[in-house]
Amino acid sequence: MAYLLMFVTLLHLITLAMLFIATMEKSWWVWDGMENSDLWYNCRFDNSTGTWLCASSKETEWLQAVQVLMVLSVVFSSVSFLVFLGQLFTMSKGGLFYFTGLCQVFAGLTAFSAALIYTLHNKDILPDSKDLTSGHFGYCFILAWVCVPLLLCSGIIYVHLRKKE
């Protein structure tokens, strides 16, 4: 039982870190490694100064939906972890972690919705001046998709996990 508890806690922390990186880092769409776009900025690498020059992304309804859903996913997963820690020390023997699991499942569903919207509407989200055929999805986008099954599985594990003493 102790190993399962450590595994679930570690899985939760890993998915929370991956969600945070996917939400905040700047690589949802990449063009030739010298220009990329994320949920917040469009950035271009300037060879003469050796720095990234970033401008705010064009605000579209689809981009705002992805932003909100990814932030909600991080919030649900954070609340889930805090509730789990609270339940771990206050819940009676034999209790189930229903609320923790429900929050994790909601985090997985919001991350799924955000990644799906970005997949289907990237032409509307990305800058109009760029040719999308010369670019590809970045590692943050892939991290968001990887988080979805991990969050859903950990939510299901939490629902079935019983507190034993």
pLDDT digit string, tens, across residues 4-50? 888 888 999 999 999 999 999 878 888 877 888 888 888 888 888 88
Question: What's residue 25's pLDDT?
Answer: 86
Q: Return the CATH number at 1.
A: 1.20.140.150
Q: Is the pTM of this model over 0.85?
A: yes
The answer to whether position 42 is within a domain reads no
The answer to whether position 36 is within a domain reads no
The answer to whether position 157 is within a domain reads yes
Q: Looking at the 3D structure of the chain, how many domains does it have?
A: 1
pLDDT digit string, tens, across residues 59-85? 889 989 999 999 999 999 999 999 998
Residue 87 has pLDDT above 90, yes or no: no
Residues in CB range of 37: below 8 A, 6 or more apart: 26, 28, 29, 30, 43, 57, 126, 127
Instruction: List C-alpha distances in Å: 134 to 26, 32, 35, 42, 139.
Output: 18, 7, 11, 16, 16
Which region among 71-85, 96-110, 121-135 has the lowest average model confidence (pLDDT)? 121-135
Residue 25's domain spans which residues? Answer: 1-29+59-163
The answer to whether position 44 is within a domain reads no
The answer to whether position 127 is within a domain reads yes
135 or 130, which is more confident?
A: 135
The answer to whether position 81 is within a domain reads yes
